[in-house]
Amino acid sequence: QVSATVGNGTPLVTSISRTIAPTEDYLWAYVASLLHFDGANNSTTFTDQKGKTWSRSGAPIISTTQSRFGGASGYFTGAQYITTPNHADFNFGAGDFVIEWSTYYTTAPAGSASPQAIIRKFTTASQQCWDVWMYYTGSGNTEFRFNISTTGADTVTALSSSTSTDSWAIPANTWTKWAIFRYGNTLYFTVDGVVKKSVAFTSTIFAGTSQVEFGNGDGSSGAVFYAEELRITKSGRYSG
């Protein structure tokens, strides 16, 4: 049972099941991207329900080996990720937003010197916006980190959560739902709908021109995983 609640009356459990149809999503106009990762086995096409174009770096594929919904998922290993060009939809400024996705790790990120940049808009010098990292820091501890830039060139850790202090884990060989979202002046990090960390947040995120990347953006973490239901919403969807 989930513990996070939702703004405007929509249960959070909706986002943990298959992402609801556009006609049923009252925030569809504010959805920046929605990828189900559906398709034929070994397909190299990553379809965005909002019409944005995603390209491959390395050799990520659509795989039918694992699936949470729809019979397929995205498969990422090594230095593999997908990218979409800069768009104003991904610049959150001082407003609410939600970044959410599901993963099935067969190999979790390993090594504090080799974090997994799972999703980010942070790759162009002086045009950095935000990024999400997962990495193993040693002694059985893994850290989730959400970084932002306020100038395009600085890096500010807005939220950091560790498995040893906040009671969560990256389970192997099972599906897990992740989300980072802003509601008002608070950032929330949730695992399977349960809030694991919340922090005060009043910053304005820089509106840079970096592309968006999803997958193994850093390439050195050793992570191997399947992914489903990546959704980015430029609006408040959950209220913590």
* Low-confidence stretches of the chain (pLDDT beneath 50): 1-16
Closest by CA position to 211, among listed 97, 81, 79, 123: 123
Question: Which tokens hold the place of 45?
Answer: 């096409």
What is the distance between the alpha carbons of residues 122 and 187, in angstroms, rounded to a whole number? 19
Tell me the per-residue pLDDT of 130-168, one tens digit each, with 9 for 90 and over: 999 998 888 889 999 999 999 999 999 999 999 999 999
According to the model, what pLDDT value does residue 16 have? 46
